[in-house]
Amino acid sequence: MTLHLYNTLTRQKEAFQPIQPGKISMYVCGVTVYDYCHLGHARVLVVFDVIARFLRSQGWDLTYVRNLTDIDDKILRRAEENGEPYQSLTARFIDAAHEDEGKLGIVPPDVEPRATAHIDDILAMVQTLIDKDFAYAASNGDVYYRVSRFKDYGRLSNKNPDELLAGARIDVDEAKEDPRDFALWKHAEADEAGWDSPWGRGRPGWHIECSAMSKHCLGEHFDIHGGGPDLPFPHHENEIAQSEAANGCHYVNYWIHAGALRVDGEKMSKSLGNFFTIRDVLEKYHPEVVRYLLIGSHYRSPINYSEDSLVEARTGLERFYGALRDYAEVEPASMKDLEGSAYYRDFVSAMNDDFNTRLALAVMYDLVRDLNSESDSDKARAMAAELKALGAVFGLLQDQPDRFLQAGGADAIGAEQVEALIAERADAKKAKNFARADEIRDQLQAQGVVLLDSPTGTQWRRE
């Protein structure tokens, strides 16, 4: 089955052709580390984590690079506000980002370059652009890229360069030749964060950082570049202009962008009071519930975060874990062993169609339905092993079924207390005190605990 990707550059779905047979090189823009990661970051992190997991499950030799921006105007402003060196600020939030990613089940990228470790690469690329007349050192100490020299500018974001010119402006303290020109190198005063350069002390512009880091890690031309919904313009547009002008070759074959995340139908914003960090959400919800919500829609589609949507995600996962409850000890199947399975075939077909997680989840629901009705124990165990293997591609079904189904919030009735009440209920039924047995069931139901009676005993889960 051939992998097809929607390419933002061409605005159409295309059959994937790797630069090197069997290998994929992928660069994804990571976070700017001046604060805790929020839900918008989580959407991008989870989307590309699932893409990486799936590609590797299909035998692709993937090199996954995701950068960290650790020098930036926002970082410097926040450090100044806090009265601390910017290095201590970024170190703290890099550690926090890694902690959040770990809790969300994000597999670390193969390479995680940091902008401050690639200043020499950045300086070399800026100098090349100046030498090729695609950039110029201005009178204010900045170095700017000449947008007018790059004929395809605006192609990725589908923007007309003339319209960009009409809507652009030049600030009074800038020395641009053209309002559309953007900074490759920013002047820094002696007491500001910066590095020495042929054009004076300064620091890199945001866009040049990714051009230099991607070249260092993957070369001048690679397969896939990804990021969030706000990056096609200007960030990725500027990356293309810089890289292709400096390197003299095509930069990236396929551009992938995740859809926007909204909160209760509105853009997430601190001013609206609907801004949530990853750690805020994980205090209340199981990490897999959050992952499920973020992959429940196609990665290019907008997604709405709300309490109702999280409840729906929890309910969906409960169906999977409920089906696996009697197969907790079953190991996930290997992908090679699943090649003859119709479920596996349909799952892979969905994912090869531009990573259609929504359709792939529907296949998993079909598998759950059939597992729940399967009477042959050997077949049922094989189906459970397949369900776990498919779930692993999404970073789901990694918990023990009972632990997931019985997990509750900080104010929920404890598991030991639930078990004690179940035991008391069993004794009441043996004593034919059915009124007390019903009373216990109702008490637990009121506290969000559902009892599941069977010939082998009573299991329970939280609503």
Separation of alpha carbons 205 and 101, rounded Å: 27
Pick from 331, 341, 321: which is nearest to 385 by CA?
Answer: 331
The count of residues in the chain is 463
Specify whether the CB–CB gap between 177 and 90 falls below 8 A.
no
| SS3 annotation, 211-237 | HHHHHHHHCCCEEEEEECCCCHHHHHH
250 known ligand binder: no
Instruction: Flag whether 270 is marked binding.
Output: yes
Tokens 């809790």 belong to residue: 103
Crossing angle of helices 434-446 and 415-430, rounded to 10°: 160
Name 299's Cβ contacts closer than 8 Å, sequence gap at least 6. 47, 50, 51, 256, 258, 259, 355, 357
Nearest-angstrom CA–CA distance, 262 and 36: 18
Residue 462 and residue 439: Cα distance in Å, rounded? 18
Q: What is the sign of the dihedral through the CA atoms of 34, 35, 40 and 46? A: positive
Q: What dihedral do alpha carbons 170, 173, 177, 182 form, nearest 10°?
A: -70
User: What are the structure tokens assigned to 358, written together?
Assistant: 């929504």
CB distance 5 to 16 below 8 Å: yes
Residue 235 is assigned to a ligand binding site: yes
- What is residue 259's DSSP assignment? P
- DSSP-derived secondary structure letter, 165: H
Which residues lie across from 61 on neighbouring strands?
23
* Nearest-10 crossing angle of helices 307-323, 377-393: 140
236 in a labelled binding site: no
CA quadruple 462, 41, 353, 386: dihedral sign? negative
Separation CA 240–CA 235 (nearest Å): 9
In the block, tokens 């293309």 appear at 240
Where is the binding site, in residues?
29, 210, 235, 239, 270
Where is the binding site for Zn(2+), in residues?
29, 210, 235, 239
Where is the binding site for ATP, in residues?
270
